[in-house]
Structure 1
């Protein structure tokens, strides 16, 4: 059975969706850079090993990433899942786990990388917003895309209402992407991810409808 590790920084809502999805693999550790992260209590409640590598205890990003990588490697995972892990990782760390490091981002990449994505989407006037699961590369929020989900942007949306609608989709697509990886169905070809056995999708999304 393949093994995976989840990295969190806070409440871990995406971690919870992953753990509740019945993935075809074993979660061997939940690791946080913050000892107060609420998600750690949930993981402990499920009987999972938890670890803390506190970034505030290290003099540099490189030192922290080296310690984090060593802790991850101790569990020998096939897959590392960033689930609300609020740290920008160094190039060396990313290359160490290249091809087995997934992240979920709350926008339809390549649109709106970085933070405050829902505010950016509203300000830009886009009609569709969403989330993206992608392999992590040294360039921020720009790795090969596994799966995306889109939601309409309503005229009366604010960051909270739009963010809640996107988060509901995050919980679905991140578990799906992890499942595909653990089943051995994903292959990276350049900047594209190929899914073995994928069904062609011809339906179009339109917003608004009138």
Structure 2
């Protein structure tokens, strides 16, 4: 059982945001700071250089970039994957380097002491090493009404299937792909003739607002989850 108690108005909810791209969801949190005093953005953590970093710097938000390993890393002359630690080349596998990356990512996030970690367009699946530290305290936004249309192509999949309704889901992150307990959802219509990019723009409008309101509810009410279902505390 996971329980996160409300903390506002005693203090704001401390957020660390993970992002990989433009950072529009991250920007929605920055924009909400004045009117939503229950939230405090502590840092942005990325997996690569991306426009979200510029948004953070303009807002004087600290940034950390933790680059994940490449699956087909260039080999050293000895035939082992390249590494910053040559002495451990013989032990170095992709799986081990992924575990190391997850540990480094967790350390970078922990440095800012968040109450909640927000995956906002972060295009990486975090592993057990990260979830051991932040499981139950990490949320993700997904552009569909889960459990329908999980994965990276949710909007295109919904349009191709002929769905009439899709939407935005805010859920807790677990070890699966978009399988964690759902905190909030809001529906978005798909009209005849809509293209995926049109639907995605419609979802993003809802998604930005829903992310802010969900985090505000966490700060003010907290939540409880049994690992399958989640609900806000009374």
Match of 1:106 in 2: 143
Give every structure 1 segment of 4 or more consecutive aligned residues whose post-TM-superposition deviation is greater than 4 Å. 56-59
Structure 1 residue aligned with 2:51: 38
Aligned-partner Cα distance in 2 for 1:93–1:20? 28
Match of 1:6 among 13, 17, 26: 17
Contact 2:69 2:98 in 1 (8 A): no
Please give the alpha-carbon distance, in whole angstroms, between the structure 2 residues aligned to 1:25 and 1:167. 20
2:21, 2:42 → 1: CA distance?
19
* Structure 1 residue aligned with 2:210: 173
Q: How many residues align?
A: 196
Q: Tell me the equivalent position of 2:7.
A: none
Computing the radius of gyration from Cα coordinates, the structure with the larger value is 2
Return the TM-score normalized by structure 1.
Answer: 0.88
Structure 1 regions of 5+ residues with no counterpart?
198-210
Correspondence list, 1:13-32, <5 A: 13-22=24-33, 23=36, 24-32=38-46
- 1:145-184 to 2 correspondences below 5 Å: 145-184=182-221
Give the superposition deviation at 1:190.
4.3
Quick check: 41-50 or 52-61, which moved more? 52-61
Q: Using the alignment, how far apart are the partners of 1:42 and 1:190 within structure 2? A: 34
Which shows bigger deviation, 102-111 or 16-25? Answer: 16-25
CA RMSD of aligned residues (A): 1.6
1:56 Cα shift?
4.2
Question: Is 1:116 equivalent to 2:153 in the alignment?
Answer: yes
Kept after mapping to 2: 8 A contact 1:107/1:129? yes
Q: What is the SS of the residue equivalent to 2:18?
A: strand
Range with bigger deviation, 122-131 or 23-32: 23-32
Name 2:63's counterpart in structure 1: 50
> Residues of 1 paired with 2:131 and 2:143: CA distance?
20
For residues 118-140 of structure 1, the C-alpha deviation after alignment (integer angstroms, 9 at most, x for no partner) is 11111111110111000001111
Per the TM alignment, residue 175 of structure 1 is displaced from its structure 2 partner at its CA by 1.0
Q: Is the aligned partner of 1:67 residue 2:104?
A: yes
Give a deviation string over 1:48-101, Cα, whole Å, max 9, x none: 111111224875221111111011111111110001001011123123211110
